[in-house]
């Protein structure tokens, strides 16, 4: 069991134990902070070869003896020369056993040497340091590195998507500057989620695409702010509040006809403008036929196209009605 837990460090530890008997036993009985210092030194040796010494004029002690008898600081100094401030503190949060890859320890050393407070604080405050957290941290935009994001993201791919989601939010909400987003992340409660954080900014979006309906019409009023969409969601008791991101992305737009129905518009391809897509009553029920026809006529006068439900004409409808009664068997 311990052989498996020691992972990539075991062959080197066995070799060192041959040079200085008791190395392996010392590692297994050492406190976690000293054990992690040994693993970090082994990682340096694994990646960069023999340990480099700051003063080549002095005969260095055998590395095995340093591992067997040295304190944590001595082991790290022997392996790395200058030990960055905060490196030992990060190592203490790794736990009892080595990280899965020696490169992880070099990454921790480089992180401590960088002095980047957000990255260091994210790891320090997010519990035990794991390979998964290191991978997520490296994929996360430095602006959003915090224990609250590190604990809520499951994979590096998810971190990349979160970066892109913030980019979208900042594009549609002028209030979502770097400082505001970072502060919102830092102030997250234990039960809050990253999707809720994003949605709060989306609900304040103020850079919506231009509505296809011109303003100033008493009959057909275009929605131009998220407040209007949220108010309509309450009055019509529909799901508009959950679709503000689609509005901000320009996937659809809404205008209200005579305070009786909501007209949904969709964008056409090739920059061909918008078309009337659907007409909704309260609770997304169909609007009364009279309101429906008036709304269609209004869009026709404004030059907003819609699907031609009359295509084929009366002869085709007669054919369709008649052919459905035939027995094709």
Alpha helix locations (H) across the chain? 2-6, 10-19, 23-29, 32-48, 63-69, 72-80, 87-91, 103-114, 117-124, 131-139, 147-150, 156-172, 178-186, 194-202, 226-236, 244-248, 289-302, 313-323
Mean pLDDT of the chain: 91
Q: What would the pLDDT profile of 11-26 be if each residue is shown by its tens digit? A: 989 988 888 889 999 9
Residue 36 has pLDDT above 70, yes or no: yes
C-beta neighbour count of 303 within 10 angstroms: 8
Q: What would the pLDDT profile of 102-145 be if each residue is shown by its tens digit? A: 999 999 999 999 999 999 999 999 999 999 999 999 999 999 99
pLDDT given at position 61: 57
pLDDT given at position 43: 94
CA distance 223 to 215: 9
Yes or no: say if 183 and 143 are a contact pair by the CB < 8 Å rule. no
Q: What would the pLDDT profile of 50-66 be if each residue is shown by its tens digit? A: 544 444 444 445 888 99
Residue 177, both tokens:
């500057």
Mean pLDDT of 28-43: 94
Mean pLDDT of 239-250: 96
pLDDT given at position 54: 43
Residue 47, both tokens:
């990646």
Tell me the pTM: 0.84
Residue 203, both tokens:
């609900």
Beta strands in 233-306 (DSSP E): 252-257, 261-267, 274-280
Our measurement of the distance from residue 79's CA atom to the centroid of its chain's CA atoms, rounded to an integer in Å, reads 36
DSSP state of 205: -
DSSP state of 60: P
Mean pLDDT of 219-243: 96
28 compared with 324, residue with greater pLDDT: 28
pLDDT given at position 310: 79
Binned at pLDDT 50, 70 and 90, residue 326 comes out as low
Residue 189 has pLDDT above 60, yes or no: yes
User: Which residue's structure tokens are 């591992």?
Assistant: 67
Yes or no: say if 227 and 233 are a contact pair by the CB < 8 Å rule. no
314 compared with 256, residue with greater pLDDT: 256
Lowest mean pLDDT among 49-53, 61-65, 210-214, 307-311: 49-53
pLDDT given at position 35: 95
Yes or no: say if 236 and 282 are a contact pair by the CB < 8 Å rule. yes
CA distance 80 to 77: 5
Pairs from 28-35 (Cβ < 8 Å, separation ≥ 24): 28/2, 32/92, 32/94, 32/95, 32/96, 33/72, 33/88, 33/91, 33/92, 34/71, 34/72, 34/75, 35/96
pLDDT given at position 327: 60
Our measurement of the distance from residue 65's CA atom to the centroid of its chain's CA atoms, rounded to an integer in Å, reads 46
Yes or no: say if 61 and 22 are a contact pair by the CB < 8 Å rule. no
238 compared with 60, residue with greater pLDDT: 238
Beta bridge partners of 267: 274
Binned at pLDDT 50, 70 and 90, residue 49 comes out as low
Share of residues in the chain with pLDDT > 70 (%): 94
pLDDT given at position 279: 96
Binned at pLDDT 50, 70 and 90, residue 323 comes out as confident
């Amino acid at each position: 069991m311990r052989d498996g837990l020691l992972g990539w460090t075991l062959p080197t530890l066995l070799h060192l134990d041959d040079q200085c008997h008791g190395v392996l036993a010392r590692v297994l009985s050492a406190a976690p902070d000293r054990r992690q210092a040994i693993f970090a030194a082994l990682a340096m040796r694994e990646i960069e070869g023999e340990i480099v010494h700051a003063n080549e004029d002095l005969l260095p002690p055998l590395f095995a003896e340093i591992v067997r008898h040295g304190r944590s600081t001595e082991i790290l100094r022997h392996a790395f020369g200058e030990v960055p401030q905060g490196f030992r503190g990060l190592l203490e949060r790794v736990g009892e056993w080595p990280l899965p890859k020696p490169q992880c320890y070099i990454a921790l050393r480089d992180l401590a040497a960088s002095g980047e407070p957000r990255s260091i604080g994210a790891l320090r405050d997010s519990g035990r340091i794991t390979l998964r957290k290191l991978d997520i941290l490296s994929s996360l935009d430095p602006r959003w590195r915090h224990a609250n994001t590190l604990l809520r993201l499951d994979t590096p791919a998810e971190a990349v998507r979160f970066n892109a989601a913030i980019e979208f939010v900042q594009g549609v909400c002028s209030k979502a500057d770097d400082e505001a987003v970072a502060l919102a992340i830092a102030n997250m409660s234990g039960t809050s989620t990253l999707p809720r954080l994003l949605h709060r900014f989306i609900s304040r979006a103020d850079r919506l695409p231009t509505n296809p309906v011109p303003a100033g019409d008493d009959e057909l009023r275009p929605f131009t702010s998220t407040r209007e969409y949220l108010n309509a969601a309450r009055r019509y008791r529909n799901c508009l509040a959950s679709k503000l991101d689609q509005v901000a992305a320009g996937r659809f737009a809404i205008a209200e006809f005579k305070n009786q129905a909501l007209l949904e518009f969709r964008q056409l391809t090739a920059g061909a403008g918008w078309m009337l897509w659907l007409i909704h009553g309260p609770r997304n029920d169909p609007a009364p036929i009279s309101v429906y026809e008036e709304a269609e006529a209004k869009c026709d006068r404004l030059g907003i196209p819609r699907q031609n439900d009359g295509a084929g004409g009366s002869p085709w409808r007669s054919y369709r009605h008649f052919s459905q009664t035939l027995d094709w068997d």
